[in-house]
């Protein structure tokens, strides 16, 4: 045993302290900027400084990381247009400082800040080098095609958000092909080798996830002006995929949340993007309960869409696929056995939404399924649903028979399963009943138009920016705000007309509808229903929607998790139909409610209905 005196210990601690100070001293202090990154109405002078005496500052303006050979800082930098400054401090005998990145936006139109802004900065060769650049080689994927990137995020109205270093890759399928789309989607990876191991910031305000491993920046493809086919571009709204996910969430089912942003790449405006949650184990834990998860999705056309695992493995999916492959679903026991293998309520809503939305690129594409190994049942979720609500060459009609689409794709495994499942009388009966409920609530035209308007209003002022960047990408065609407005009206027309078409098709395809649905018209609300609020979780405000089958006296109240009264929203007589009321998170005494779970309760002549909502401050 080694005995240490107090003097010995003091000497040891002093040595450790000196060593720590010496270690800290070998790294130069990072430069500081006299002006914060962000938005300025006119030219601005930016000074750089470092606390390391005798160090020199080197900087770049093209996105590359500064080295000892980069431009020497000798005085204030005049910034007259959008510019990215990356700077580091250098001193002989010391390691260079960490690189500091600041994005400056000068004289931008005020409407730019109606949405958050995300600035991505990386060395140009990481993007454009013919051999190693990810943008120059968009078909490449995997770890070796990930590059470092500096990220700066600004909230609406230019308020500072966060800055972080991360990894970036190209994301997507057909949109990777250079001849099909020049505007690429991205994936961001947060790893300790770059900076934070997780992004600890609520970048997606509607999300319950607060710490992200990965984020997807969706550029749009089949619903974007960059598309290679003119009939895709003519009906571009940029909101079809987010709307499908919004509707599925509104139906009480899990789906990826996403918010729109403006994206800048090395200081250049790169367009309107949808930053979205990724379907992974974190997503499943938050929205479907803690567990050990398998997450699968359809693969590429080259593999006949053979399902692949994005989280976990394929063992359980392959077992499920083997079970359904030759199952005769005309036998009701087989259909009932299916309930132990999939979440049937979720699956029927997933089936109904894709049929109603006329998702003609589904079911061989555009879905995910997740399974908690604790209960073994698969849960299905929509993804990349841009071929919906009257898109592409199908947008000029709203009467596509989706059951024929499924039959035409029956050489693929998942469409084959759906085709065979349709042979079940019990399944057709369950779908018909659920269709009637959804026609009266979440798929009612009034509700869908409200959700659509929420998305359209979110990006309306962003459309001229997108048009300036990508509206003439397929010259001689040029697209702008008026084209977008026309396309939005086309979506609204589709929503108004689609219900009657699907109602008639249900009958012809053998789905036995209740009497109220057999007249080929958009139905009126049929029940006393309180819907899930939207968005949920929410931050600044949320919409509460309910249906009344007739004129009646009602009361709508909000309570906290303890059951204590928070505020009353309605007390009085209301007419039959769908009603929407907004709650701004303010209690009865005018004080903002804190983060947490709340309940809202609708009381009327037909009973009491209650739903849960989550407030995130």
How much is the average pLDDT of 388-410? Answer: 88
Residue 449 sits at φ, ψ, to 5 deg, of -65, -35
Report pLDDT for 111.
98
Positive or negative, the CA dihedral 245, 248, 254, 259 is positive
Report pLDDT for 13.
40
Degrees, nearest 5: CA angle 87-93-95: 40
Per-residue DSSP letter, 589: T
Q: CA 192, CA 196: separation in Å to the nearest integer?
A: 5
Q: CA 174, CA 361: separation in Å to the nearest integer?
A: 13
- pLDDT of residue 68 exceeding 80: yes
Higher pLDDT: 403 or 11? It is: 403
Structure tokens at 533: 């609020």
Residue 497: burial class (beta carbons within 10 Å; 0-12, 13-18, 19+): middle
How much is the average pLDDT of 605-617? Answer: 89
Total Cβ atoms within 10 A of residue 199: 23
Placement of tokens 């900087």 in the chain: 59
- Stated as kind and residue range, the H or E segment containing 615 is strand 607-615
Helices (H), 206-309: 230-233, 240-250, 281-288
How much is the average pLDDT of 514-518? Answer: 45
Tell me the β-bridge partners of 544: 581
Average pLDDT of the chain to the nearest whole number:
90
Structure tokens at 296: 């699968």
Tell me the β-bridge partners of 171: 185
How much is the average pLDDT of 219-236? Answer: 93
Q: pLDDT band for 12, please (50, 70, 90 cuts).
A: very low
Total Cβ atoms within 10 A of residue 515: 7
Q: CA 348, CA 435: separation in Å to the nearest integer?
A: 9
Placement of tokens 């938005």 in the chain: 39
Total Cβ atoms within 10 A of residue 175: 24
Task: Name which of 615, 547, 549, 555 is nearest 587 in CA terms.
Answer: 615
Higher pLDDT: 522 or 108? It is: 108
- pLDDT of residue 521 exceeding 50: no
- Whether the CB-CB separation of 295 and 280 falls below 8 Å is answered with yes
**Any idea which of 50-54, 418-422, 450-454, 531-535 has the lowest mean pLDDT?**
531-535
- DSSP 3-state assignment of 317? helix
Work out whether strand 117-121 and strand 258-265 pair parallel, antiparallel, or are unpaired.
parallel
**Any idea which of 91-105, 147-161, 181-195, 547-561 has the lowest mean pLDDT?**
547-561
CA dist 404 to 330, 358, 366, 419, 520, Å? 19, 11, 18, 9, 20
Q: CA 434, CA 415: separation in Å to the nearest integer?
A: 21
For the chain, percent helix, then strand, then coil, each to nearest 5?
Answer: 30, 30, 40
Per-residue DSSP letter, 616: -
Tell me the β-bridge partners of 154: 117, 160
| E-assigned strand segments in 322-462 | 367-372, 378-382
Instruction: Give the total residue count for the chain.
Output: 617
**Any idea which of 15-24, 257-266, 348-357, 576-585 has the lowest mean pLDDT?**
15-24
Task: Name which of 357, 272, 385, 369 is nearest 316 in CA terms.
Answer: 369
User: What domains, with CATH codes, occur in the chain?
Assistant: 20-107 (2.60.40.10), 529-615 (2.60.40.4070)
Report pLDDT for 577.
79
How much is the average pLDDT of 393-398? Answer: 72
Q: CA 241, CA 387: separation in Å to the nearest integer?
A: 8
**Any idea which of 467-481, 517-531, 587-601 has the lowest mean pLDDT?**
517-531
Helices (H), 471-517: 481-508
Task: Name which of 209, 186, 185 is nearest 199 in CA terms.
Answer: 209
Q: CA 522, CA 525: separation in Å to the nearest integer?
A: 10
- Whether the CB-CB separation of 614 and 536 falls below 8 Å is answered with yes
**Any idea which of 15-24, 135-144, 272-281 has the lowest mean pLDDT?**
15-24
Report pLDDT for 17.
43
Report pLDDT for 394.
62
Question: Over the stretch 200-218, which tens digit does the pLDDT of each residue have?
Answer: 999 999 898 989 999 999 9
- Stated as kind and residue range, the H or E segment containing 580 is strand 577-583
- Whether the CB-CB separation of 517 and 435 falls below 8 Å is answered with yes
How much is the average pLDDT of 455-468? Answer: 98
- pLDDT of residue 504 exceeding 50: yes
Q: CA 235, CA 386: separation in Å to the nearest integer?
A: 11
- DSSP 3-state assignment of 59? strand
Residue 163 sits at φ, ψ, to 5 deg, of -135, 140
Cis ω for the linkage preceding 535 (within 30 of 0) = yes
The contacts of residue 298 (CB under 8 Å, 6+ apart) are 305, 306, 307, 308, 364, 365, 366, 367, 412, 414
Q: CA 107, CA 284: separation in Å to the nearest integer?
A: 42
- pLDDT of residue 20 exceeding 60: no
Higher pLDDT: 19 or 469? It is: 469
How much is the average pLDDT of 475-482? Answer: 96
The contacts of residue 407 (CB under 8 Å, 6+ apart) are 415, 419
- pLDDT of residue 156 exceeding 90: yes
- DSSP 3-state assignment of 280? coil
Positive or negative, the CA dihedral 267, 272, 278, 284 is positive
- pLDDT of residue 29 exceeding 60: yes
Q: CA 277, CA 237: separation in Å to the nearest integer?
A: 21
CA dist 26 to 15, 16, 19, 390, Å? 17, 16, 11, 62
Q: CA 285, CA 211: separation in Å to the nearest integer?
A: 12
Q: pLDDT band for 513, please (50, 70, 90 cuts).
A: low
Rounded to the nearest 10 degrees, what angle do helices 344-356 and 240-250 cross at?
Answer: 140
Question: Over the stretch 313-330, which tens digit does the pLDDT of each residue have?
Answer: 999 999 999 999 889 999
């Amino acid at each position: 045993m080694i005995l240490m005196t107090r003097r010995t210990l003091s000497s040891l601690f002093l040595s450790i302290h000196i060593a720590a100070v010496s270690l800290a001293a070998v790294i130069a202090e990072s430069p500081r900027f006299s002006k914060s990154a962000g938005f300025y109405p006119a030219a601005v002078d930016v000074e750089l400084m470092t606390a390391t005496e005798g160090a020199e500052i080197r900087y770049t303006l093209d996105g590359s990381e500064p080295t000892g050979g980069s431009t020497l800082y000798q005085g204030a930098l005049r910034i007259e247009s959008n510019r990215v400054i990356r700077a580091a401090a250098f001193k002989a005998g010391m390691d260079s400082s960490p690189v500091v990145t600041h994005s400056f936006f000068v004289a931008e139109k005020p409407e730019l800040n109606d949405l958050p802004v995300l600035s991505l900065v990386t060395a140009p060769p990481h993007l454009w080098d013919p051999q190693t650049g990810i943008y120059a080689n968009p078909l490449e994927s995997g770890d070796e095609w990930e590059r470092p990137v500096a990220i700066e995020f600004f909230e609406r109205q230019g308020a500072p958000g966060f800055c972080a270093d991360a990894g970036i890759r190209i994301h997507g399928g057909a949109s990777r092909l250079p001849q099909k789309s020049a505007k690429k989607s991205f994936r961001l990876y947060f790893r300790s080798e770059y900076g934070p191991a997780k992004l600890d910031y609520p970048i997606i305000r509607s999300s319950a996830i607060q710490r992200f491993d990965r984020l997807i920046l969706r550029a749009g493809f089949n619903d974007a002006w960059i598309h290679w086919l003119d009939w895709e571009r003519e009906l571009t709204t940029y909101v079809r995929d987010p709307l499908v996910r919004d509707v599925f969430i509104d139906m009480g089912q899990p789906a990826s949340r996403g918010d729109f942003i403006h994206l800048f790449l090395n200081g250049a405006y790169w367009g309107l993007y949808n930053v979205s949650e990724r379907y992974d184990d974190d997503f499943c834990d938050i929205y479907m309960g803690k567990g050990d998860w398998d997450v699968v999705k359809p693969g590429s056309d080259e593999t006949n869409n053979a399902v692949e695992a994005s989280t976990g493995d394929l063992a359980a999916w392959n077992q499920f696929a083997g079970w359904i492959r030759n199952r005769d679903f005309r036998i009701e026991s087989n259909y009932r056995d299916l309930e132990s293998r999939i979440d049937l309520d979720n699956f029927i809503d997933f089936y109904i939404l894709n049929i109603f939305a006329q998702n003609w690129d589904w079911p061989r594409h555009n879905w995910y399924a997740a399974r908690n190994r604790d209960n073994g049942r698969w849960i299905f979720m929509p993804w990349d649903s841009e071929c919906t609500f009257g898109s592409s060459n199908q947008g000029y009609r709203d009467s596509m028979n989706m059951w024929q689409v499924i039959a035409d794709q029956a050489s693929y495994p998942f469409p084959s399963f759906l085709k065979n499942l349709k042979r079940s009388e019990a399944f057709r009966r369950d779908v018909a009943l659920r269709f009637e409920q959804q026609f009266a609530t979440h798929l009612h035209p009034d509700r869908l138009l409200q959700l659509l308007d929420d998305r359209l209003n979110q990006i309306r002022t962003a459309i001229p920016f997108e048009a300036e960047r990508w509206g003439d990408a397929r010259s001689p065609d040029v697209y702008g705000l008026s084209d977008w407005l026309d396309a939005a009206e086309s979506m609204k027309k589709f929503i108004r007309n689609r219900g009657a078409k699907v109602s008639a098709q249900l009958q012809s395809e053998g789905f036995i509808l209740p009497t109220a649905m057999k007249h080929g018209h958009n139905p009126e609300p049929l029940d006393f229903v309180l819907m899930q609020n939207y968005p949920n979780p929410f931050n600044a405000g949320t919409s509460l929607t309910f249906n009344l089958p007739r004129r009646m006296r009602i009361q709508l109240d909000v309570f906290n998790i303890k059951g204590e009264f928070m505020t009353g929203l309605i007390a009085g007589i209301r007419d039959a139909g769908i009603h929407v009321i907004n709650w701004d998170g303010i209690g009865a005494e005018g004080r903002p409610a804190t983060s947490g779970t709340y309940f809202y309760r609708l009381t009327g002549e037909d009973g009491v209905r209650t739903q849960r909502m989550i407030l995130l401050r």
